[in-house]
Structure 1
Amino acid sequence: MIRVNHPRDGLVTISLDRPDKANALTEPMLDDLAQAFDAAGDARAVILTGTGRVFSAGADLDAARAGLALSPAWERLSGAIAAAPCLTIAALNGTAAGGAMGMVLACDLRVAVPEARFFYPVMALGFLPQPSDPPRLAALVGPSRARMILMAGQRIDAAEALSWGLVDRLAGAEVLMDTAEALAAAALGAAPGHVAAIKARMG
C-alpha cells in the first residue's frame, strides 16, 4: 500500500497506494512510510504523494477504533520526515485530512491540486493532535489560523490554504508531479551533503 520509486538520480518518490480506501492509513502503512523516509538517506529530494483523487483521508476508521488514533506511529512518521536530510515535498493529489496532516506539515514544501481540501477534525472526534502538529501548523499559518483548523474544525480549500501559507503552490493534477520535481531541481543538482547542510541551517 506504499510504493517507493527512484525515477532519477537523487530523487525518491513515495506514494500512498490505497485509492479504493481514499488512502486511509493503517499502522503498517505508517511504519512503512517511516522506514521509507529513513531509507532515503542519500536522496537529495523526496516527493510524497498519493494515488487516486484523495491524498489521504487520515486514519482508517476500523484501525482508529482499534487504537490507531493513539498510536505513537504518527509522531514517529512525522519525525522521520522532518529529520530527513534532504528536501521533502508533499505533492497533494487531493484532500488531506485528519492524521495525514501530520506528514504534510512535516514536509519542507507543499504543492496541491486546486480541488484539495484540508481539515483536522480532532475537536469533533475527541482526539488530541499529535504533539508536533500544532506547532508546525502554527509556524506555517499563524496561531489564530491554526486554532481555526484544530479548535474551530474549519475545512480549508486550496485557494485559502495557499493564501494562508499552508501550501506553497497550486498545480493541476496533470502537472502536479512535474511541479514538485521542478521545485526539487536545485536540490537534485547539488551534492547530498550540501542539501543536508542548508536544511540543517533552516532549523
Structure 2
Amino acid sequence: MIEAYEKDGLLTVTLNRPDKANSLTGDMLSELADLFENADPLALVLTGAGEKVFSAGADLEEARAGLATSPLWERVSGALAALTCPTIAALNGTLAGGAFGMALACDIRLCVPGASFFYPVAKLGFLPQPSDPGRLAALVGPSRAKLLLMAGAKLTTEEALAFGLVDRVVARADLMAYAEALCAPALTGDTANVRTIKAMVG
C-alpha cells in the first residue's frame, strides 16, 4: 500500500490505497517512517493513488483503536522534514486529518483543482501532531492555522492557494511531470549547493 520507486536519484512515494481514500494504517505509517529515515535521494515526490483524495488521514477502524494519537504520525513527518533533499507533496486530491503532517513537512506543496483541505482534530476530540501547528502557522499565519485546527474550517483549492498552504495548482494530467520538473536542479545540478540552499531557508 506504500509504493516507492527511485530512478536517477528521484524517489517517488505513493500512498496506494484508493479504495479507502488512501487512509493510513499503523503498518503503512511504520513503513513510511522507515523509508524516510533510511532514504537519501537527490529529490523526493510524495503523492497518492486515485483521482479524488491524497489521503483521508487515519484508517477509521485503527483510529478508533488508538492510531489517531499514535507517535508514528510525528515520526513520519519528522523523518520527512529531516531529509536534506528537496521534497514535494504532489497532492492528487483532498488532504485531510493526520495526512496534513506529511504535506506540511515537505518543502513544496502542489495540488490539483478541486482539492479540499481540512484538519478537524478539535471536532474529533484530538490534538494535532506536535509539529503541525507550528509548520502550519509558518505557512498561513496564526489566525488561519487556528481557523483550520480550532474551528475545523474546510478550505477550497482557491483558499488554500491564497492562504499559502499550497504553492501551485496544477492540472491533474500534468501534476507528476510538473513535480518532477521542479526537482530537475537537484537531479542534474550541484547537489551540495541545492541542499545548502534548503538549509539556508530553513
CA distance in 1 between partners of 2:48 and 2:34 (Å): 17
Q: Residue 177 of structure 2 corresponds to which residue in structure 1?
A: 178
Gaps of 5+ in 2: none
1:193 Cα deviation (Å)? 2.8
Q: Residue 5 of structure 1 corresponds to which residue in structure 2?
A: 5
Q: Residue 151 of structure 1 aligns to which amino acid in structure 2? A: M
1:2 Cα deviation (Å)? 0.1
Runs of 4+ in 1 over 6 A off after TM superposition: none
Q: Residue 81 of structure 1 corresponds to which residue in structure 2?
A: 80
Q: Residue 48 of structure 1 corresponds to which residue in structure 2?
A: 46
Asked whether the 8 Å contact 2:80–2:102 carries over to 1, the reply is yes
Percentage of pairs with the same residue: 62
What is the TM-score with the length of structure 2 in the denominator?
Answer: 0.96
Gaps of 5+ in 1: none
CA distance in 2 between partners of 1:70 and 1:38 (Å): 21
CA distance in 1 between partners of 2:192 and 2:89 (Å): 22
1:88 Cα deviation (Å)? 0.3
1:199 Cα deviation (Å)? 1.7
1:37 Cα deviation (Å)? 1.6
Asked whether the 8 Å contact 2:185–2:194 carries over to 1, the reply is no
What is the TM-score with the length of structure 1 in the denominator?
Answer: 0.96
Deviations 1:91-139 (A, max 9, x none): 0000010000010000000000011110000011000001100000000
Matches within 5 A, 1:100-111: 100-111=99-110
Q: Residue 62 of structure 2 aligns to which amino acid in structure 1? A: A
Q: Residue 120 of structure 1 aligns to which amino acid in structure 2? A: Y
1:48 Cα deviation (Å)? 0.1
Give the paired residue count.
Answer: 201
Q: What is the Cα-based RMSD across aligned positions, in Å? A: 1.0
Q: Residue 133 of structure 1 aligns to which amino acid in structure 2? A: D
